[in-house]
Structure 1
Amino acid sequence: QCPPPPDIANGKHSGQGLAVFTSDMSVSYSCDPGFVLVGEAHLNCTSAGAWSAPAPRCQGHLCPPPPVIDHGQHDGKAMDVFSPGKSVNYSCDPGYSLVGKSSLHCTDNASWSTPHPRCEVLQCPSPPSIEGGSHNSQEVEAFIPGMVVNYSCDPGFSLLGEASIYCTESGNWSLP
């Protein structure tokens, strides 16, 4: 016969309410929602009158540190504890734009929600064409902030406005 199995904080065992625990009886431990079992989930009463292993414990579910994204950061602090329901917000470095949801949350199974956001190089659309003229970047495929495009007119046409526009940090062209 074994003594009653130990009770555990934030959890319970299947022998609750029983008074006698004979050899070859077993009990199973489980944790309350938001906690994870650490140790043996099933204990057996041995013929020597002792339980086969120490009682497990229930540890609060915690997420690992939030995922790191290239060219971006989150607002979680290095020493934060990330429990279920906690969220972090992401932002991108200058010259990059966020693709996907800007926040992730720690789920009940101690992992971060998906998909993870990412930061992509900010680009301007192709520069506008003008009637009776062209720009000097016809062969360029990607226009990144800071790039300058120069316009010129075909013979017989005069340029009105600025001859150059540039791709701004917000991914738009400056006004001509």
Structure 2
Amino acid sequence: METSPDTCGQRTVQALLLLCLLVVKAAAGCLKPSGRENIVLSTKALLLNDYPERVEVTLECANGYERESGSGNIACINEKWTEPDLICKKKDCGPPETQPNMRFNISAGTLFGALIKATCDEGYKLTGSAYKQCFPAGWSGRAKCIIVTCPKPPEVTNGRISWDAQNLPKYGEIIQYTCDEGYTLIGESSIVCSATGKYNSQPPECKGVTKEDRSTPASPAQEASTSADASVTPTASTTAAVSPSVRGGLNILTAVNTTTSVTSSTSSSVPGSYDEIEDVNKDSGNVPVIISVIAVSLVVSIFVFFIHKFLLRRKGSYDTREDLKPELLQFQNL
């Protein structure tokens, strides 16, 4: 039986068409799966060149997220990927590690991407970054709180301070001041290192005590007492002689010279002399005392003078008119 050329040609064409269909069907598959906000392809899935039918790949949580539930596997079925069942949530960094004298404001939360601020207690200052952020590996940034220090305390003239350490005074430390003997402290006796790095007040001063401060000025009563203690000895003497004139030549009567001497002396029974008063005046510079002594002396002298006059009038000589008797005798003889 002979075969016609047309029949052979048809069979050949059918075989080629079937082969092409098989090749095209074998080459069919899915496109590269796309990730989401918090889901990405695993490293192994990223290394594949194509994703044929029935192939399976694995998804995983993005950096900063962690698996909450699901397996993360998907497959290519009828040129489409199955829905993933993986659920990812943000990683929680938790409260930052506590540090001495440091506090954190975590009101913004502690999940991935959160930003918090660090502050120090009173009397401490922050070194490093003041903010921390939650990253996949944990909190970023390093900070430390160190205590505040004040400058070296100032010295005071004619005084001493209690601070002799080589280090600078720290927050809250007290520096005491004392004055040398003979000096008075003016101001606060101590200063404190404050949280601002400065002292709470200015250092005191040591003021010297002068001679005027040590001595107390004499009161008027004391000056009067000093004047009364001074000794004064005034002396007054007066001598008077009375001689009646002789008009005749006979029977000359001569009045006896009368001498009156009055001596008044006033002395103080209180110990001390004028020299001692003068020394006191020189030391204290009290000039009114000398003036008081002179005034008392003048008053006593005037008093003695008037007493003397009074005595003279009381004891004076009497005129007996004896000098006229010779003349009367001459008239009688006539």
Name the TM-score class by shorter chain: 0.5 to 0.7
Q: For residues 10-39 of structure 1, what are the alpha-carbon distances to aligned partners after superposition, in whole Å with 9 as ceiling and x for unaligned? A: 324438x845125xxx52424456534678
Number of the residue aligned with 1:80: 109
Distance of aligned partners of 1:90 and 1:134 in 2 relative to their CA distance in 1, 3 Å threshold = same
Deviation at 1:7, TM superposition (A): 8.9
Distance of aligned partners of 1:146 and 1:35 in 2 relative to their CA distance in 1, 3 Å threshold = closer
Report whether the alignment pairs 1:143 with 2:196: no
**Is the radius of gyration larger for structure 1 or structure 2?**
2
Number of the residue aligned with 1:165: 191
Q: For residues 119-169 of structure 1, what are the alpha-carbon distances to aligned partners after superposition, in whole Å with 9 as ceiling and x for unaligned? A: 233332331234554311214746333332123455787766544322123
- Distance between the aligned counterparts of 2:172 and 2:95, measured in 1? 35
Number of the residue aligned with 2:97: 67
- Distance between the aligned counterparts of 1:82 and 1:143, measured in 2? 42
Number of the residue aligned with 1:21: 54
Number of the residue aligned with 2:160: 134
Structure 1 gap segments, 5+ residues each: 46-53
TM-score normalised by structure 1 residue count: 0.61
Residue pair 2:161, 2:175 contacting (<8 A) in 1 also: yes
Residue pair 1:62, 1:82 contacting (<8 A) in 2 also: yes
Report whether the alignment pairs 1:103 with 2:131: yes
Structure number having the greater helix percentage: 2
Structure with more contact order per residue of length (Cα contacts < 8 Å, sep ≥ 6): 1
Q: Which amino acid letter does the alignment assign opposite residue 103 of structure 1?
A: Y
- Percent of aligned pairs with the same residue? 24
Distance of aligned partners of 1:82 and 1:129 in 2 relative to their CA distance in 1, 3 Å threshold = farther
Number of equivalenced pairs? 156
Number of the residue aligned with 2:200: 174
Distance of aligned partners of 1:106 and 1:12 in 2 relative to their CA distance in 1, 3 Å threshold = closer
Deviation at 1:76, TM superposition (A): 0.4
Q: For residues 37-90 of structure 1, what are the alpha-carbon distances to aligned partners after superposition, in whole Å with 9 as ceiling and x for unaligned? A: 678999699xxxxxxxx965433344232232222211104x934221x21111
Report whether the alignment pairs 1:90 with 2:118: yes
Residue pair 1:136, 1:151 contacting (<8 A) in 2 also: yes
What CA RMSD, in Å, does the superposition of the two structures yield over aligned residues? 4.1
